[in-house]
Amino acid sequence: MTGYLYQCELALLELARRSWDNITVEVRMELLDDIEFLHHETKDPLELLQSKHREAAGQLSETGKDFWRSVASWIDSLKVSDDPSALQLPILRLVSTQVAKDGTFLHWLRSGSDRNVGRALARMEEVANDADGPGTTAGDRALFMELTSAQRHRLVNAMVVDDGAPVMSDLDHSLAKELGITPSEHAGAVLDEIKGWWYRVAVRLLERKDPAYILASVSAEELMCRRDEAVDRYTGRSLPITETLRNLTEAEMAPYRDRLVVSQMQWIGLRNSEIAMHLRDYHYARAQRSEWLRNFKVTADGLDAYERDLHYEWESVFRRRTRRVDDETSEADRQNIGQEVLDDTMEKVADKAARPGTSTAPWIGRGSIHDLCDRAEYVGSDRAVGWHPDHSRLCKNHIEASDQ
């Protein structure tokens, strides 16, 4: 069980480590190998990683299962051609908590000045051909020798033995360092939050049946964004504002005229000048949120949590303002109540931070609640937002008319 958990946390540690050199690199698990790192654009594997955790200190064995089963896995996963000019193989890395003894091929396959692929290959072939070798790896060793000489050289040239890796109980220290989490009274809470997110992600990376739940890969960019969200929750660093507000031109407002967000304001009798003011907040809030997502300043889950907070504020206002509406309430009164719902909601959400513990420009909250008003997919659900006491019925009619 510890080995499985180690694989999961090692993937997180390795992704954090790679973020310093290549922020776009992506990770996935249990497809071609235990852990895989991918090129962002092509999704070609950059590295296949075998994770081997042993609690007891000791040495890696030249005939042991940890190494030779890794070799067999790599052979199965890759098409190793005889052509040296063929597509370069990904790095094939064995990460083990045990140590490679000097003078073994495992030692010569380490990165660094002692690396010697030629000596390692010659010794591997000796071990693989040894008839007295253990039966537990006989099939894996035979599979290696079935390759041609050129294929064996290409395969071994791609191998890296990364021995002496930290055991499970020591990973947190390494992870905090790679994530750039400085020692503080909140460091443990920040690390726990990131790991909690990562374990949820890992379940989706391992999903193979439900297409809606499967997550193909995760990028270092998203991990760093999660790190920033967790750190900022305690440090109070606000999200950057890159949009500058100005009144919208007629051309900029034109695409909104038939949108649900405008109809919602028309149903409560707002004048065009006031609608234009609200559209300005909506327009720039959408642009700012898109920029945050595009540049990994916030995650989609982070914005979803923000929207749930906004919805809560709207709902508390809406229920309070509409509790006395009945069949006898006139349309004029319903519109006045809708304007009160709008005004009160705008005041409440203006102070709502897009990230807990920080401050956010008031127009972000105001524009974001209008964004919820504009989402046809929310109509009839518990995520719907509207101003008119009868907004649910009016929205359904609007959508049906639009479809026709």
Mean pLDDT of the chain: 92
* Residue in 163, 51, 44, 147 with CA at minimum distance from that of residue 100: 163
pLDDT digit string (tens) for 93-106? 999 999 999 999 99
- Say if residues 130 and 144 touch (Cβ distance below 8 Å): no
Question: Which pLDDT score is estimated for 81?
Answer: 61
Please give the pLDDT value at position 356: 81
* Residue 84 confidence (pLDDT) above 70: no
Question: Which residue type is seen at 53?
Answer: H
Q: What is the pLDDT of residue 69?
A: 95
Range of weakest confidence among 14-18, 82-86, 241-245, 279-283: 82-86
Name 372's Cβ contacts closer than 8 Å, sequence gap at least 6.
307, 310, 311, 314, 378, 383, 385
pLDDT 10s digits, 58-68: 899 999 999 99
**Banded pLDDT at 233 (limits 50, 70, 90):** confident
Q: CA–CA separation, 243 vs 364, rounded Å?
A: 10
Q: What was the pLDDT predicted at 355?
A: 85
pLDDT of residue 86: 66
pLDDT for the residue 82: 65
- What is the arithmetic mean of pLDDT over 367-395? 95
pLDDT at 319: 97
Residue among 149, 154, 140 nearest 79 (CA): 154
In the chain, the percentage of residues whose pLDDT exceeds 70 is 98
Q: Model pTM? A: 0.70
| 329 or 80: which leads in pLDDT | 329
pLDDT at 85 over 70: no
Which residues are 159's β-sheet partners?
A: 92
- Is 129 or 82 the better-scoring residue by pLDDT? 129
Q: Distance between CA 24 and CA 115 in Å, rounded?
A: 29
Convert 167-178 to b/e letters by CB count within 10 Å (16 or more is b): eeeebbebbbeb
Name the band, by pLDDT with cuts 50, 70 and 90, for residue 358: confident
Please give the Cα distance from 233 to 59 (Å, whole number): 43
Look at residue 231 in the predicted model and tell me its pLDDT.
86
Angle at 371 between CA 346 and CA 241, to 5 degrees: 75
Q: Is 80 exceeded by the pLDDT of residue 334? A: yes
Q: Is residue 289 predicted with pLDDT exceeding 70?
A: yes
Give the Cα separation of 262 and 264 in Å (integer).
5
**Residues 161-180, mean pLDDT to the nearest whole number:** 93
Stretch 215-224: mean pLDDT: 95
Mean pLDDT of 102-124: 95
What is the per-residue pLDDT across 119-153, written as a single tens digit (0 to 9) for each?
A: 999 999 999 999 888 999 999 999 999 999 999 99
